[in-house]
Amino acid sequence: MSKNPRHIAIIMDGNGRWAKKRGLSRIEGHKKGIARIEEITKAAVEQKIEVLTFYAFSLENWRRPSLEVQGLMLLLKKFLIEKRELLKEEDIRLISIGEREKLPKSVQKELNKTEELSKNNKGLILNISLSYGSRQEIIRAVRKIAEDAQRKKVKINKINERLFSKYLYTKNLPDPDLLIRTSGELRISNFLLWQLSYSELYFTPKFWPDFQKSDFLEAVDDFKKRNRRFGGLSAKKNN
Ligand code: IPE
Ligand code: IPE
Ligand code: MG
C-alpha cells in the first residue's frame, strides 16, 4: 500500500528568475516566495505530514550582495512575527536548523521567540533551515563527537550511524522521505546530505513563487507511487 511521507523537505528555488522574468527586483521574488510558505504548510497539515522542512537560506547565500541579504533577512523576520497566529491556529511547532548565531540579532530574537511560543504545539513540525549548510553541519558534529571522546563521554567503538545522527541539527527528526526542489535545478546545494541518503527526489521546473498546493499534492502523489527498496528487495507485490 502507498505510504504517506512523514517528512518532506523543500528547496525553495527560483525566486530571482521568477522576478527577472517579470522585470521585478530579486527582492520582489523573495517576497512572493516567502508568501508561498503558508499555503504549502497548510496543505502539509491536511496531508498529515509530521515534518515539513524548508530551505530558506543557505550558508553559501551569505555571499550574495548585501542588499539582497538584508532584504531577505527583513522578510524572514517579518515572516517569523506574522506567522505566530497561524502556528497557534494550526497547532504547528516552528523550529530552525543552521548557524543561527550568524543571523542578525533581531532575526535571532524573533526566531527564538517564535520557537518558544510554539514549542508545546503538537501538530506539524515546521522546520526552517536558516544559515544552514550540510557539510558544515557534519564538521560541527565531528568536532563535538571528538570533544566528547576526549572527555570520555563517547567510546570510539560506539560511534555509529545512530550516534552520529544525534550530533546533527536534525537529531530529533526523522530523515526526509521526500525532497522537492523547484526551478528546474537538479542538485542538492549542500542541503541535508546525510539525512537525504535514501530520500525520494522530486524536481519540478516551476519557480518557487509559482508553486501551489496542487503542485505539492502532485509531488506527494508521485511519492506514493514510488517503490522504496533501501538497497533490499521490493517488499511490495503490487504497485
Ligand atoms: C531561492 O531563490 C531563495 C534563496 C536562495 C534565498 P533564488 O534567490 O536562488 O532564485 P534564483 O535561483 O536566483 O532564481
Ligand atoms: C539553494 O538555492 C538554497 C536555498 C533555496 C535557500 P541556491 O539558489 O542558493 O542554490 P544554487 O546556488 O543554485 O546551487
Ligand atoms: Mg537559486
Give the model confidence (pLDDT) of 21-57 as tens digits: 999 999 999 999 999 999 999 999 999 999 999 999 9
State the cell numbers at 160. 555509529
Nearest CA to ligand 2 atom 3: 58
User: Architecture of 7-133+174-224 per CATH?
Assistant: 3-Layer(aba) Sandwich (3.40)
13 has catalytic annotation: yes
Give the per-residue pLDDT at 229. Answer: 96
- Each residue of 74-123: pLDDT tens digit? 999 999 999 999 999 999 999 999 999 999 999 999 999 999 999 999 99
Q: What is the pTM of this model?
A: 0.97
- Each residue of 167-200: pLDDT tens digit? 999 999 999 999 999 999 999 999 999 999 999 9
What are the domain boundaries of the chain?
A: 7-133+174-224
Ligand 2 pocket check for 13: Cβ under 6 Å:
yes
On the CB side of 106, CA atoms within 13 Å amount to: 9
What is the phi/psi pair of residue 142, to 5°? -60, -45
Residue 3's contacts (CB-CB under 8 Å, 6 or more residues apart) are 224
Q: In angstroms, rounded to a whole number, what is the distance separating the alpha carbons of residues 33 and 85? A: 20
What number does the ligand 1 atom closest to the CA of 207 have?
14
State the cell numbers at 221. 502523489
The answer to whether 183 and 14 have CB atoms below 8 angstroms apart is yes
What number does the ligand 2 atom closest to the CA of 57 have?
6
- Where residue 157 falls (left for φ over 0; alpha for ψ -120 to 50; beta otherwise) is alpha
Name the burial class of residue 115, with classes exposed (0-12), middle (13-18) and buried (19+) by CB atoms within 10 angstroms of its CB: middle
From 10, 13, 99, the mutation candidate for ligand 2 (largest count of ligand atoms within 8 A of CB) is 13
Give the per-residue pLDDT at 238. Answer: 43
Distance 237 CA to ligand 1 centre (A): 41
215 has catalytic annotation: no
Q: In angstroms, rounded to a whole number, what is the distance separating the alpha carbons of residues 78 and 75? A: 5
Radius of gyration of the chain (CA): 18
Q: In angstroms, rounded to a whole number, what is the distance separating the alpha carbons of residues 33 and 19? A: 10
Nearest CA-CA partner of 180 in 197, 165, 202: 202
Helix/strand/coil for 201: strand
Element of type H or E holding 57: strand 51-58
Ligand 2 pocket check for 55: Cβ under 6 Å:
yes
> Looking at per-residue confidence, does 68 or 1 come out higher?
68
Helix axis angle for 213-224 and 37-46, nearest 10°, is 40
Under DSSP, the state recorded for 12 is -
